[in-house]
Chain A
Amino acid sequence: MSGHVLLIEDEPNIAEAMRFLLTREGFRMSHLSEGDEVLARIRSDRPDLVILDHMLPGMSGLEILQALRADPDTRTLPVMMLTARGRDRELAERAGADRFISKPFSNAEILAEVRAMTGR
């Protein structure tokens, strides 16, 4: 497995931290900071894992997730959701998120989850 991770996160500093952590572990990282072009990018790049922030400009994380799950092509694509608000967990799980992580998180936790989800 090649280990291509697509991160959708609008806070530049959080994205910077994730990029540092994951590339150090050997993952290939792409990053988007807005919700609108996400679906097209997923279709063209076919990442192995999508890490999705909940609050995004444009299309929200939850809407992106619902769209992914509605499309047969991406129904089984592993999706990890990040959120800064506690009560989003239930909504995210119902919409079909595979993992759910609250901010702030520990770096070790994120790495462990990503490894588990990409099977490495």
Chain B
Amino acid sequence: MPFNLLVASCLLYVIFLFAVAFLVERRAHLGRLGWLRSPLVYTLSLSIYCTAWTFYGAVGYAARSGLEFLTIYFGPTLVFIGWWWLLRKLVRIGREYRVTSIADLISSRFGKSNTLGVIVTLICVVAATPYIALQLQSVVLSFGVFASATPDGQAPPDPEQTAIWVAVGLALFTILFGTRNLDAKEQHHGIVTAIAVEAVVKLVALLAVGAFVVWGLAGGVSEIIAKIDAADLAAWQVQPGRWTGLIFLSAVAVITLPRMFQVLVVENADEGHLARASWAFPLYLLAMSLFIVPIAVIGLERMPAGANPDMFVLTLPLSEGQGGLAMLAFLGGFSSATSMVIVESIALATMISNHIVIPLWLHLRPSAARGDDLRSVVLTARRLAIAGVLALGYGYYHVSGGSAALAAIGLIAFLGVAQILPALIGGLFWRGATRIGAMAGLLVGFAVWAYTSFLPSFGPGAVLSESVFTQGLFGLSWLRPQALFGTEAMDPLTHALFWSLVLNATAFCLGSLLTFPGPVERLQGAAFVNVFDGGAGPQRWARGQAEPEALLTMAQRILGEDAALTLFQSAARDQGKEGFLPDPTPAFLDSLEGRLSGSVGAATAHAMISQLVGRATVSVEDLMAVASESAQILEYSAQLEAREAELTRTAGALREANEKLTQLSIQKDAFLSQISHELRTPMTSIRAFSEILTEGDLPPDMVVKYGKIIHDEAKRLTRLLDDLLDLSVLENGTVQLNLTLASLQQMLDHALTAARQTRPERSFTIQRDLPSEAIYLKTDSDRLVQVFINLISNARKYCDAADPVLRIAVRQRAGRVTIDIIDNGSGIPKDSQSLIFEKFARLTDANRAGGAGLGLAICREIMTNLGGSVAYLPGQGGAAFRVTVPLRLEKAAA
């Protein structure tokens, strides 16, 4: 097949994947995922376990080492069938604590220690780099096979070039779909579905090649069995030690590989899916392995002696003249490689940004932590990390020259990430496990792995000199990289597996036994180990001194304004409060931390909140609750706590209602007295001047002057009576609404012009986004404009900034439109925020000439009548009001 046609088919295939991912993202955005969140898609996405290594390499493996390749499938099968209680615990913890990666899980379990997060991240990056290189290599090899098979005079593609373009293309795809939203907990639906599609493609491709080999080339099932019997393959002996080691290794890898953790835990949409996957995934693996041996046997029989068995899946159909089948096989291999690289780089990028880049950023620019939107920083970090990971993979491919056999690199990577296992298992099941222990285990394991497996893989004389191999490090013979302590009988892989994990686990246990866990570690330990026992874990925050407004500002920077306001509003409602600012109760701080964790990881979220709350420790009571071993007491106290929380909530709601009633009754009393005052004041001037005028003999200019005063005060009286009447009509709900279709932009124009009469000497900078205002509302436009005028006039009156700025932000969502009117003054103090909408509430007397203090009360009543609301919006850096109106107000609601 011509090379450029091949490239075109690849591009077409990738565009198809783009379309799938894009459409699914669209549906996810609209909340219509339906069957796309099914166990089937989940199971298929797990198949990224089968990479190009499995697709191409397994045949090569079988051709070289017989049935040993099966161990790579046995391990995961055992885990999914026999150990799914372990997976269930992982998934539950992942969902409960919004875990974003395996590094986040380890860091979170051991006291939200970012150092651990960094260590795990580094291990994963080092171990995954050769693995990614392996995928690039397989794509390049398959390109080479196709292009060289057609001697049509075209220059054969340069493998280096191909590798670069493949890496760049994958980086682009991953960045486009892997970093669209921030919260790692709620997305990647597009990618996951694309991965599931690729899973189907690679399975179908392998089965098709297998069927062709069995029925097309060998002539049937019995013939192929005879051929296998006759081949050398079956004669190769089973090595129990090595097989056990390999089964164990692949079982561990299926849990600890960053990409497996990503699809297994992070992308899991429903715990129930795991139950289905526990038998469906092994079935998938079985299907994938079904035809490996036949393809290997026939390949060895028919292909020339020097042919690379890793490419049999491709070369066999090609040499038999089956171009279409070869194309399918090629796309299968392409799918295996791309899906692995995409998910792996997303997983690694999440770790790198959450554990390395963001902590560094916050550390280096503490001042920046206040102002700007952190989300763009996180997203940029992720995008750069994806590009970086792929660049590393390409760099490794370039340096290693793509020489080693595929399976060897895969196993080395498996062993690298397996070093996380002791800390993971210990963290999930042993409350005595400590941060120091985990650190010791990880570092020791990583060092031993690097020395005995990773560095030697470059070959003698590359990184480790020849003499180190034969005489050991520093000439100490017991430090030979492939025969530690003189254990020469084992093959190098089993040797590295044995020593790295044994020393890792020993260091982990010793470190844990010799050190004491810190308070946060104790709490996290208990919460993780007992994740199935109680509902929520122990509360990690004592009642905080944090200002809710500061918390809101921080949350807005990470979650975005809408999500943060929604979260705070619903939390406030749960506490029985109105508005956007809940009390900083322990429960609220906990849930806030959980939400932030989903975006920036547990360690960073914890650090950011404790910065605001003022301390990172835990109260004695919290510790006592954890230390108590009696399950009964725990359960009883949990019940009590739940009841108490319920009571506290009710009491809070009652207290608030009572306060409101008391205030209302005081205000009712004050109301009459206020009306009396507001009426008598203008009447006093009118009466005094009219008496003066009746006496006569005043100069004419005085008559004019006093006449004008009487006129002004009479107007003031009229205005007051109008306002009172307006308010009473609105409150009784007997108001006649005049519903029309009106342009929001015109209403705002009108309001801004009208409000200019208030303190006309002040000049305001007005910030508007006109396109967003191009909305037609069905409402009573006069009434709505009245509200706008009132809010804008208030800003003109009270905004105390030297260069006053008025910002109007409009957003439309789910049939409602919000209009935020925000100035840059000093805002309204928190304890007054609930009062300003009451009648005659005037906060200062500085500008009393304006009115009687009925403006906002009228606004509130108007908005109620228009089926919307007006509320004070805290945390905007000035006085801010949010007006919410329905897009289309129906008569019935009016």
Which B residues are in CB contact (< 8 Å) with A107? 688, 691-692
**Interface residue? B115 (CB, 8 A):** no
* Residue interface mask A82-111, B partner, CB < 8 A = 1: 001111000000000000001111111000
Cα(A11)–Cα(B686), bound, Å: 12
Q: Knowing A16-B709, A57-B846, say if A104 contacts B683 (CB, 8 Å).
A: yes
Partner of A13, one of B676, B709, B846, B848: B709
* Residue interface mask B443-454, A partner, CB < 8 A = 1: 000000000000
Which B residues are in CB contact (< 8 Å) with A67? none
Which B residues are in CB contact (< 8 Å) with A112? none
Q: Knowing A21-B688, A85-B673, say if A11 contacts B681 (CB, 8 Å).
A: yes
Cα(A93)–Cα(B845), bound, Å: 26
**Interface residue? B361 (CB, 8 A):** no
Least Cβ–Cβ distance between A11 and chain B, in angstroms: 6
Interface contact A11-B677, CB-CB below 8 Å: no
Least Cβ–Cβ distance between B849 and chain A, in angstroms: 9
**Interface residue? A40 (CB, 8 A):** no
Interface contact A14-B681, CB-CB below 8 Å: yes
Interface contact A17-B845, CB-CB below 8 Å: no
* Residue interface mask B683-726, A partner, CB < 8 A = 1: 11111110110000000000000000100110000000000000
Partner of B687, one of A18, A55, A84, A106: A106
| Interface SS of chain A | loop
**Interface residue? B680 (CB, 8 A):** yes
Q: Knowing A13-B709, A57-B846, say if A84 contacts B680 (CB, 8 Å).
A: yes
* Residue interface mask A1-34, B partner, CB < 8 A = 1: 0000000001101101110110000000000000
Which B residues are in CB contact (< 8 Å) with A102? 680
Interface contact A13-B685, CB-CB below 8 Å: yes
> Closest chain A residue to B670 by CB distance?
A85
Cα(A57)–Cα(B843), bound, Å: 11
Q: Knowing A13-B709, A16-B709, A57-B846, say if A104 contacts B676 (CB, 8 Å).
A: no
Cα(A34)–Cα(B729), bound, Å: 36
Q: Knowing A57-B846, A107-B691, A107-B692, say if A17 contacts B677 (CB, 8 Å).
A: no
Which A residues are in CB contact (< 8 Å) with B688? 14, 17-18, 21, 104-105, 107
Q: Knowing A57-B846, A105-B687, say if A20 contacts B681 (CB, 8 Å).
A: no
Cα(A72)–Cα(B556), bound, Å: 59
Docked complex: B393-425 residues within 8 A CB-CB of A = none
> Closest chain B residue to A82 by CB distance?
B684
Which B residues are in CB contact (< 8 Å) with A21? 688, 692
Interface contact A13-B713, CB-CB below 8 Å: yes
Cα(A106)–Cα(B690), bound, Å: 10
Which A residues are in CB contact (< 8 Å) with B709? 13, 16
Least Cβ–Cβ distance between A87 and chain B, in angstroms: 7
Which B residues are in CB contact (< 8 Å) with A20? 692
Interface contact A87-B673, CB-CB below 8 Å: yes
Docked complex: B659-687 residues within 8 A CB-CB of A = 673, 676-677, 680-681, 683-687
Cα(A18)–Cα(B685), bound, Å: 9
Which B residues are in CB contact (< 8 Å) with A106? 687, 691
Least Cβ–Cβ distance between A81 and chain B, in angstroms: 14
Least Cβ–Cβ distance between B864 and chain A, in angstroms: 30
Partner of B676, one of A10, A14, A84, A105: A84
Q: Knowing A87-B673, A107-B692, say if A14 contacts B684 (CB, 8 Å).
A: yes
Which A residues are in CB contact (< 8 Å) with B685? 11, 13-14, 16-17
Q: Knowing A17-B692, A57-B845, A57-B846, say if A104 contacts B677 (CB, 8 Å).
A: no
Cα(A21)–Cα(B698), bound, Å: 13
Cα(A102)–Cα(B845), bound, Å: 22
Cα(A119)–Cα(B308), bound, Å: 125
Least Cβ–Cβ distance between B716 and chain A, in angstroms: 10
Q: Knowing A57-B845, A57-B846, A87-B673, say if A103 contacts B684 (CB, 8 Å).
A: yes
Partner of A85, one of B676, B692, B713, B846: B676
Cα(A104)–Cα(B685), bound, Å: 8
Interface contact A104-B687, CB-CB below 8 Å: yes
Least Cβ–Cβ distance between B721 and chain A, in angstroms: 16
Cα(A86)–Cα(B684), bound, Å: 14
Cα(A64)–Cα(B713), bound, Å: 28
Docked complex: B517-536 residues within 8 A CB-CB of A = none
Question: Can you give 6 contacting A-B residue pairs, CB < 8 Å?
Answer: A14-B681, A17-B685, A17-B692, A55-B677, A85-B673, A106-B687
* New A-B contacts (13) at CB < 8 Å, excluding given A10-B848, A84-B681, A104-B680: A13-B689, A14-B688, A57-B845, A57-B848, A84-B684, A85-B676, A86-B676, A103-B681, A103-B683, A104-B687, A105-B687, A105-B688, A107-B688
Q: A residues touching B (Cβ–Cβ < 8 Å)?
A: 10-11, 13-14, 16-18, 20-21, 55, 57, 84-87, 102-108
Q: B residues touching A (Cβ–Cβ < 8 Å)?
A: 673, 676-677, 680-681, 683-689, 691-692, 709, 712-713, 845-846, 848
